[in-house]
Amino acid sequence: MPVPKAELHLHIEGTLEPELAFALAERNGAQLPFASVDELHHAYRFEDLQSFLDLYYRLTDVLRVEQDFTDLAEAYLARAAAAGVRHAEIFFDPQAHTARGVPFATVIDGLWKALHDSERRYGITTKLILCFLRDLSVESALDTLTAAEPYLDRIVAVGLDSAEVGHPPAKFAAVYQRARELGLRAVAHAGEEGPAAYVAEALDVLHVERIDHGIRVLDDPALVQRLVRERIPLTVCPFSNVRLRVIDKLTDHPLRQMLELGLVATVNSDDPAYFGGYVQENFDGIRDALNLTTDHLRTLARNSFEASFIDEYTRARYL
């Protein structure tokens, strides 16, 4: 039995498996620039974050109607349940869809059809995290937040993703301020390809409660000390880091060092359809690569619930 865990860094669009992409393309009469599932599998070799994002956004084009988003989320829930996930805080990228003419309501209603009774059907509680694409404008982010207002009961937080370098967190100060006024919590991708300074900026300017990735903090020992002291969680994604060449190989991954420094690190899958595995494969892979002990694994599972936005009562059941 896989250990019970929360998954806190998972892009629902990144769970689009090649087989489902082809099935949806056919259902919707969409064109994919690949002849077969096999050919698409071969495209999953990335140079860096941007080369991945190019394919990730290209494939979202098969997601067009509510049912597509429901099917996508259902497929994720089934896999997550098998991996011992009890709680999932799921990123979605509305601008990747609204920019193609798919209404915000289509995206969130489609996802919610799968998610609203996920606890009863899969034993997994779920919340959505609305991510802004940081390479788009502040105005576009503010418009997206306005579109989300009727759905705030489905959304626990805002996040920030897409191309990091050159798009520092402070660009979105006004957007996060507005999100806070709406009662939303806040996270941000920082220190994946970008520098440790972006992590500090996300904390100081956006007032995020959690950092997504964050492995570059190790370049700044004073910042590490601060994260340890303030118990700021980092949602680490080992397979992603290797596939996007943030690190060379899994055996070089700093996760063990992060845990031993006292950082509240968690293990997550990021975009599992693209990076070679879901959260349990990430756990197993990093355990073997770094010879993690049972204690490390227990800490990772405990951290995942501590770092989550579930209410205190539910959290107490897991800790």
- Which of the choices ligand HPA, Zn ion, none does residue 49 contact, using the CB cut-off of 5 to 8 A by kind? ligand HPA
Which of 173-181's residues contact partners 24+ apart within 8 Å by CB, and which partners?
A: 173/205, 173/206, 174/138, 174/142, 175/132, 175/138, 175/141, 175/142, 175/145, 176/205, 176/206, 176/207, 176/208, 178/142, 178/145, 179/145, 180/207
Q: To the nearest whole angstrom, how small is the minimum distance from the Cβ of residue 224 to Zn ion?
A: 21
Q: Which residues bind Zn ion (CB under 5 A)?
A: 270
Applying CB under 6 A, the site for ligand HPA has a residue count of: 11
306 is catalytic: no
Query: Which of 189, 210, 243, 253 is the binder for ligand HPA (CB under 6 A)?
Result: 189
Q: How far apart are CA 319 and CA 315, in angstroms?
A: 6
Question: Which one of the listed residues 26, 192, 260, 312 is annotated catalytic?
Answer: 192
In the bound state with ligand HPA, the residue whose beta carbon lies nearer, of 171 and 189, is 189
Interface with ligand HPA in residues 240-279 (CB under 6 A): 240, 270-271
Which of Zn ion, ligand HPA, none does residue 192 bind to, with CB < 5 to 8 Å depending on kind?
ligand HPA
Residue 7 in contact with ligand HPA, rule: CB under 6 A = no
Cα Rg, the chain, nearest whole Å: 18
Contact flag: residue 161 with ligand HPA (CB under 6 A):
yes
- State yes or no: residue 282 binds ligand HPA (CB under 6 A): no
Taking CB under 6 A as the rule, does residue 66 contact ligand HPA? no
In 3D space, the residue among 60, 73, 74, 67 whose CA is nearest the CA of residue 21 turns out to be: 60
Which among Zn ion, ligand HPA, none contacts residue 95 (Cβ within 5 to 8 A by kind)?
A: none
- The residues that touch ligand HPA, with contacts defined as CB under 6 A, are 11, 14, 49, 56, 161-162, 189, 192, 240, 270-271
